[in-house]
Structure 1
Amino acid sequence: MAKLVFLGRLEDRAGTAEMTVPAGALSDILTTLDPALALDLLGERVRMALNGELVPDNRAVVLSEGDELAFLPPVSGG
């Protein structure tokens, strides 16, 4: 199993801060999620961090057993 972590507004959309999913290609995992959430997670301004390191190309993400993939929404300051 692998873990998805949702931060900021993405946590609100997912209804949870974390979700355990089977390991595998991100594209396959996203098909099991609510379509609106999957669309938000693939937004061009959403960054991903795999095991604490930013992912440069989210199309190639494959999760292995024990991996953690965090979704980082855009942040605004004030």
Structure 2
Amino acid sequence: MAVRVLFLGPLQDCEGAAAREFDAPLDWQALLAKVQPSTAEQLREDRVQIAARGRVLADKTALLAQDGDEVALLPPVSGG
């Protein structure tokens, strides 16, 4: 199996896809290595968060997704 990664908002534009699958296990460093360089640059921003298994991670660098997990990359929310 694999880890399904969802790219939301402008991260989808950076990656060129709404979702991709990567081999498990998937940690922070592997995620940065597998996505497009422009996506990795955005992910390093403090305002971008990561949710794994339906929960936002307090420390995104602690990501450790396993087979069948879904990871959502959450860009900053803006609005008025």
Assess same fold via TM > 0.5.
Answer: yes
How many residues get paired?
A: 78
RMSD: 1.1
Q: TM-score, normalised by structure 1?
A: 0.90
Partner of 1:13: 14
Offset from partner CA, 1:20-55 (integer Å, 9 cap, x none): 001122212321222221111221100111111110
* AA at the equivalent of 1:12: D
TM-score of the superposed pair, with normalisation by structure 2:
0.88
What are the ranges of 5 or more consecutive residues in structure 2 without an aligned counterpart?
none
Which residue matches 2:53?
A: 51
Match of 2:40 in 1: 38
- 1:76 and 2:78 are equivalent in the alignment: yes
Helix, strand or coil for the counterpart of 1:31? helix
Runs of 4+ in 1 over 6 A off after TM superposition: none
The separation in 2 between residues aligned to 1:37 and 1:77, in whole angstroms, is 22
- Residue 4 of structure 2 is matched in structure 1 by 3
Higher alpha-carbon deviation: 14-23 or 24-33:
24-33
In structure 2, how many angstroms separate the alpha carbons of the residues matched to 1:48 and 1:73? 9
